[in-house]
A and B are shown apart, each in its own frame.
Chain A
Amino acid sequence: MDWRAPRTGGLALLAAVILVLPFALINNYWYEVAILIGINAIVCVGLNLLIGYAGQISLGHAGFFGLGAYGSAILTARYGWPPAAALAATTGGVALLALVVGRPILKLKGHYLAMATLGMGIIISIVVVTEDRLTGGPDGMSVPAFTLFGLGLAGERTWYWVTGGALLAAVWLALNLVDSPAGRALRALHGSEIGAQVSGIDPTRAKVGIFVISAVFASIAGSMTAHYSGFITPGKVGFFHSIELVTMVVFGGMASTFGAVIGAATLTLLPQLLTALKEYEMVVFGAVMIATMVFLPRGFLPSLMSELKKRRK
């Protein structure tokens, strides 16, 4: 076994961090932060497949996250569905929506794709706020705890392990995908769309497929958030959350799965450490984005890795 390969060494390292981290989590507040990091990282690992590997931007992924959260919330709270069934139905519904929306908009490129996904995210956000009979509108709604076979998942410590397991699974799936014929097709599209096409790759099928997969990652993370926190508001559905997610991916390093995890961890932790400057959170986000683009154009982890490689030589 090659322990330097991402699929073995990287996963083992991530598992070790997840196992050891609770020793440093001194109270429930830090458990909450860790869970938030895990959930953001799941979304970012999926989003990085779309942005980093396939080279397609989405400024609307908070919409899929929100649909996952509200889908699970509404089906369990309003219609009394079992949470597992609600999760499955919501995930399936979001996948279908991503498929239907993705087909026309992924024909667009660059700025036009950014505008289209932005519009999609805003529409979802407006629907969530205005359909107040179902969603509770701007006030949000409470969500029952997740139960499976009569066992309830409650408390920060339980959710820490659930989130950690889900993140490991997400990273494993993403690493598998990247190093497969389907994943190579995505990277090829990013490298040269014409070159990919003449090699027999159907660009629409590849782009829509990865759009759906990344939407499913976001949706499941949304469902988890709803059940974990027990209460959701439209804040996490909006435009700013979409931008946060993209920032995390770009900061961590495009086309690097572990980079996406590091990006999510850093930019989730940063506002917590800067609570004194709360009003300037957006300023810091902007500054981090600009500094990353200027000093680390390839993102944190890829820049670090190439620097280490140079040193070794």
Chain B
Amino acid sequence: MIAPQLCVTALSKAFGGVLAVDQVSFDLEAGKVNSIIGPNGAGKTTLLNLLTGIYAPSAGRVDFEGAEVTGLAPHRLAARGMARTFQNLQIFFNMSALENVMVGRHLRERTGWFAALLRSPGLRAGERESRDEAAALMRFVGLDAFLDAQADAMPYGALKRLEIARALGGRPKLLLLDEPAAGLNPTETQAIDALILRLAQSGVTVVLVEHNMRLVMGVSDHIVVLDYGRKLCEGTADEVRNDPRVIEAYLGSTEAA
């Protein structure tokens, strides 16, 4: 049995009196596609924000690759190999698309002030490498057409991919995608589907937060279901699909709608 890559133990987050995430525990294995699903307001995004250090948890702990990382700042988690995207995009609209992806490589670049001010030869060589790799990442996520674009001139679907390319810039071990298919049409959703599978094949552990059930069921090795901030159940797509509690809380309501 391999030790899990991410262990979440009794994690809770209270906003005032509301428990948005309530005693959630689960383990995720490396190199798989994992999904966190649940109806709207189930606490999925809050959980993701806890895992990536945007929020500090009220209780519980998180272990990543055998070390406790509870409450670490986002940039420290990034340094340990976590990357993420956002449901409501966090693009640098004041920069070009390529520069957005180059920022994703921040942890692997020369970021010293003196080298930057004097434009040292080492830094110049690094910049060329950075440009080439960022362009390769943009091609990998299917943004060939936007290599010279400014971020604020790109359509919504392309921006979602741009965030994925930026996240990959840090060569993450764990990539958390917050609703990558939200707002996309069925064709675009299929393309994201294929991209997620390619990512998993490249050895990155993917955590998918989605309420698009079709996307989740098709690609996930392991699914955690949340409802009202609590973990309802977890398992493979088949196990989850046939769990009566899930049908009642999630699928039931979907069918009714």
What is the distance, in angstroms, from A255's C-beta to the closest C-beta of chain B? 7
Docked complex: B118-142 residues within 8 A CB-CB of A: 118-119, 123, 126-127, 130
B93-101, B187-195, B221-229: which lies at the interface: B93-101
Q: What residues of chain A lie closer than 8 Å to B111, measured between beta carbons?
A: 181-182, 185
Per DSSP, are chain A's interface residues mostly helix, strand or loop, or mixed?
helix
Contact status B116-A199, CB under 8 Å? no
Contact status B112-A188, CB under 8 Å? no
A191 to B163, CA, bound (A): 13
A27 in the interface (beta carbon within 8 A): no
B166 in the interface (beta carbon within 8 A): yes
B38 in the interface (beta carbon within 8 A): no
- Which residues of B pack against A, CB within 8 Å? 52-54, 73-75, 77-79, 82-84, 86, 90-95, 99-100, 102-107, 109-113, 115-119, 123, 126-127, 130, 166-167, 169-170
Closest to B82 in A: A198
Contact status B103-A185, CB under 8 Å? yes
Closest to A175 in B: B119
Q: What residues of chain B lie closer than 8 Å to A203, measured between beta carbons?
A: 75
A309 to B65, CA, bound (A): 51
Contact indicator per residue, chain A 191-232, by CB within 8 Å of chain B (1) or not (0)? 110111111111100000100010000000000000000000
A38 in the interface (beta carbon within 8 A): no
Contact indicator per residue, chain A 168-186, by CB within 8 Å of chain B (1) or not (0)? 0000010011011111110
Contact status A198-B52, CB under 8 Å? yes
Q: What residues of chain A lie closer than 8 Å to B90, measured between beta carbons?
A: 192, 194-195, 198
Contact status A182-B95, CB under 8 Å? no
Q: What residues of chain A lie closer than 8 Å to B118, measured between beta carbons?
A: 173, 176
Contact status A182-B83, CB under 8 Å? no
Contact status A200-B170, CB under 8 Å? yes
Q: What residues of chain B lie closer than 8 Å to A61, measured between beta carbons?
A: none
Contact status B93-A191, CB under 8 Å? yes
Q: What residues of chain A lie closer than 8 Å to B74, measured between beta carbons?
A: 194, 197-198
Q: What residues of chain B lie closer than 8 Å to A194, measured between beta carbons?
A: 54, 74, 86, 90
What is the distance, in angstroms, from B102's C-beta to the closest C-beta of chain A? 6
Q: What residues of chain A lie closer than 8 Å to B115, measured between beta carbons?
A: 180
What is the distance, in angstroms, from B151's C-beta to the closest C-beta of chain A? 8
Known: A181-B130, A188-B100, A198-B78. 6 other contacts (CB 8 A): A173-B117, A181-B105, A191-B95, A197-B73, A198-B83, A199-B169
Closest to A176 in B: B119
A195 to B95, CA, bound (A): 13
Q: What residues of chain B lie closer than 8 Å to A241, measured between beta carbons?
A: none
A200 to B54, CA, bound (A): 13
What is the distance, in angstroms, from A268's C-beta to the closest C-beta of chain B? 25
Contact status B117-A191, CB under 8 Å? no
- B75's partner among A181, A182, A197, A213 (CB-CB below 8 A) is A197
A195 to B178, CA, bound (A): 13
Q: What residues of chain B lie closer than 8 Å to A173, measured between beta carbons?
A: 117-118
Q: What residues of chain B lie closer than 8 Å to A236, measured between beta carbons?
A: none
Q: What residues of chain B lie closer than 8 Å to A196, measured between beta carbons?
A: 92, 103
Which one of A184, A194, A200 has the highest number of Cβ atoms from chain B below 10 Å of its Cβ? A200
- A201's partner among B83, B99, B103, B117 (CB-CB below 8 A) is B103
Contact status A202-B91, CB under 8 Å? no
5 contacts between A and B (CB under 8 A): A179-B127, A180-B127, A181-B127, A185-B111, A201-B75
Q: What residues of chain A lie closer than 8 Å to B102, measured between beta carbons?
A: 181, 184
A287 to B32, CA, bound (A): 61
A203 to B52, CA, bound (A): 16
Given contacts A197-B73, A199-B78, contact A191 B83 (CB under 8 A): no
A255 to B99, CA, bound (A): 15
- B126's partner among A177, A181, A190, A213 (CB-CB below 8 A) is A181
A124 to B10, CA, bound (A): 51
A225 to B176, CA, bound (A): 53
A198 to B113, CA, bound (A): 21
Closest to A183 in B: B116
Q: What residues of chain A lie closer than 8 Å to B99, measured between beta carbons?
A: 184, 187
Contact status A187-B169, CB under 8 Å? no
What is the distance, in angstroms, from A56's C-beta to the closest C-beta of chain B? 14
Given contacts A180-B127, A198-B83, contact A187 B94 (CB under 8 A): yes
Contact status B117-A181, CB under 8 Å? no
A194 to B90, CA, bound (A): 7
Contact status B116-A200, CB under 8 Å? no
- A199's partner among B53, B112, B123, B166 (CB-CB below 8 A) is B166
A181 to B133, CA, bound (A): 14
Q: What residues of chain A lie closer than 8 Å to B112, measured between beta carbons?
A: 182
Q: What residues of chain A lie closer than 8 Å to B104, measured between beta carbons?
A: 199
Contact status A200-B79, CB under 8 Å? yes
A31 to B119, CA, bound (A): 32
4 tightest Cβ-Cβ pairs between the two chains A and B? A191-B92, A195-B90, A180-B116, A200-B78
Contact status B106-A200, CB under 8 Å? yes
Closest to B163 in A: A195
Given contacts A197-B73, A198-B78, contact A177 B95 (CB under 8 A): no
Closest to A178 in B: B116
Closest to B117 in A: A173
Q: What residues of chain A lie closer than 8 Å to B110, measured between beta carbons?
A: 181
